[in-house]
Amino acid sequence: MAGVMPLTLRRMSSSLRSRMRDRSPGLGPALAGGALAAGLGLGACAALVMVLWVSSPYPDSGPGGALHVAAALWLLAHGVELVRTETLSGAPQPVGLTPLLLLALPVWLVYRAARDATDASDEPDGPPPVPARTAWTGVVLGYLGVGAAAALYASGGEPRPEWTWVTVCLPLLAGGAAGVGVWAGAGRPHPPVSSRLPHWVRGDTLGTAARAAGVATAVLAGGGALLLGASLVWHGDTARLAFTQLTQGWTGRLTVLLLAVTLVPNAALWSASYALGPGFALGAGHLVHPLASDPAPLLPPFPLLAAVPDAGAGTPLNWAVALVPMAAGVTAGWFVAASAVRRARPWLHWSAGRSVGVLALAALLCALALTLLAELSGGPLGTSTLSRFGPVGWQTGPAAALWLLLLGIPATLTARGWRLRGLRRGGVLPARRAKKRPRPTTARASRAAEASPRLPGPAPEPEREDLYDFLEADTPEPAAPAPRTPDRGETGRRGENGERGEPADRSDEGDRSDEGHHGEPGDRSEADDQRERDAPPPGDPTSSEREEAPDPAAAPRAPEPAEALSRAPDSGPDPAGPPPSA
């Protein structure tokens, strides 16, 4: 008994260890992953600020103030608006211009945390993957926990965050990035909402539109960056002078350079909006677009602001920026055409209408993306004149969609037709059929049938019913002639000839009657010739009756059923009666 207990305990302990090893990671690791992502982003900002604070020859505050600035800068990267209370006028001044380069850091960290929490282990004995809902909940809660602590810490320093923006921006960014990460970690499955979409939007259609919209947005942003660089080179002297006017020493200039680098994506989007047509605002009431540029208010000499076009009416050099949206539209159209006609499966090519529909969907997605990015790239830097900087989102997005439709539709149809033509030339697809001729009408068909020679076909065999059909239903039968009593002379002559004088010869008589009825027309017997010789002259009173009798030389007729029975071989005719008619 004592030996059985340790064995049972060992089995229970091994079973418990296997269950602990094979169980799902659960909510704890996902919470830890979200908190780690927030800590890494906050730590990166804190390290950058502390390096600049240490290297500054004139620090205005101690390490606590530098850490408060780091926490506020990390919240600003999420889109949270800050407030400066220590100003020359004493009135609070908002700061809502989000550096997009800093925004990319927390988005990437949250995405990686959610994807790693959902990924299954490659080892065969590893734990199973965490459910998508559990992973998303854990990562978001862990991230928001650290974010709330950072907001509480930053609210006691300068600048301080606005709590309304904290409660809106932090959950939106964490939830969106975590959702994309969980979707990628689960293998990028089709969302359930795709089954409710129209058939031409599902599957490849939505993916092609998303890729075309992403490429068009990237072309617009890249073109804006090229315009920014060209303008900075054009105004190189002004940009170089801005470094010397803002600060002195290599530490201050390095700080200005880092700030300018973090704002380069913002400036690229401003340039893209300028190329699209709506332009951007450089202060409230001061618009800059290719047709005209309003005089800007008094601004600090910042290097990126040196790229702003000169005030006044636009020139052909300013109008040349339209090449950027043209390139975006042509690129989007080429991407849609490449998916519409694929060389791997050319027989499944899309129609022209479907290709145009996919391009329209891509233009809509591009408009939404640019609207969001334009709003994030701008914001206030103060009150009054400084209350608005950057492009207007509700104008930039529709302008991008309009450019994509105007340039993308011809590019899509042209590229699609060119690819189909190449496949037809290569023999991969059949050549395009000629226009179908109208089908001939009934008259044309009948004339064609008459003109074409017809070969005689085999005669149809009579059916079994026709072989035994002795009645003619459609043709009226002539009345049977009245029986005539032969005179003595005629009877004597018949007896002399021996043709019908002997009543014993009945079989021959039946055979002759059958031949007369069923033989061919014109096949005359001796009895018929004798009747013609014995015919009375025209003046005979019985001539009318004889004229009414049917001509024996006419076409044979089918006998009546009663007549056929009377002429059967087993029942001969009455010797006293008249002879049977032919």
pLDDT per position as a tens digit, 178-220 = 999 998 888 777 665 555 556 555 557 888 899 999 999 999 9
Locus of tokens 């702003």: 308
Contacts of 524 (CB under 8 A, 6+ apart): 552, 553
In this structure, what are the phi and psi dihedrals at residue 209, rounded to the nearest 5 degrees?
A: -65, -40
What is the reported pLDDT for 214? 94
Could you give the maximum distance between any two Cα atoms of the chain, in Å? 170
- Is the separation of the CB atoms in 74 and 41 below 8 Å? yes
Task: In whole angstroms, give the CA distance from residue 277 to residue 288.
Answer: 9
**Helix ranges (DSSP H) in 235-288:** 236-246, 249-262, 264-276
The DSSP symbol for 129 reads: P
The DSSP symbol for 501 reads: S
What is the reported pLDDT for 575? 45
What is the reported pLDDT for 531? 60
Q: Is the dihedral of CA 464, 466, 469, 474 positive or negative?
A: positive
Residues comprising the chain, all counted: 582
* Three-state SS at 573: coil
Contacts of 89 (CB under 8 A, 6+ apart): none
What is the reported pLDDT for 187? 79
Q: What are the residue ranges in the chain where pLDDT is below 70? A: 1-26, 58-60, 120-127, 190-203, 296-297, 344, 346, 428, 431-582
Over the Cα atoms of the chain, what is R_g?
54
Tokens, residue 512? 């002759």
- Is the separation of the CB atoms in 151 and 219 below 8 Å? no
Identify the CA nearest to 266 among candidates 81, 71, 116, 102: 102
- Is the separation of the CB atoms in 581 and 481 below 8 Å? yes
Task: In whole angstroms, give the CA distance from residue 173 to residue 158.
Answer: 24
Q: Element (H or E) spanning 93, and its range?
A: strand 93-95
Locus of tokens 């490659």: 122
Helices 249-262, 27-55: axis angle to 10 degrees equals 140
What is the reported pLDDT for 401? 96
Task: In whole angstroms, give the CA distance from residue 136 to residue 90.
Answer: 44
Tokens, residue 459? 């005669």
Q: Is the dihedral of CA 155, 159, 162, 168 positive or negative?
A: negative
Model-level pTM?
Answer: 0.68
In this structure, what are the phi and psi dihedrals at residue 438, rounded to the nearest 5 degrees?
A: -65, 145
- Is the separation of the CB atoms in 348 and 342 below 8 Å? yes
Identify the CA nearest to 21 among candidates 124, 136, 118, 114: 124
The residue type at 272: A
What is the reported pLDDT for 122? 66
What is the reported pLDDT for 314? 82
- Is the separation of the CB atoms in 129 and 119 below 8 Å? yes
Range list of β-strands (E), 47-171: 82-84, 93-95, 160-161
The DSSP symbol for 379 reads: B
Contacts of 99 (CB under 8 A, 6+ apart): 76, 77, 259, 262, 263, 265, 266
Tokens, residue 144? 């928001």
Q: Is the dihedral of CA 92, 98, 102, 105 positive or negative?
A: positive
Please give the span between the terminal C-alpha atoms of the chain, in angstroms, as a whole number.
Answer: 129
Give the sheet arrangement for strand 93-95, strand by strand: 93-95, 82-84, 160-161
Tokens, residue 126? 């590893």
Task: In whole angstroms, give the CA distance from residue 166 to residue 467.
Answer: 105
Q: Omega before 569 cis (within 30°)?
A: no
Q: Omega before 536 cis (within 30°)?
A: no
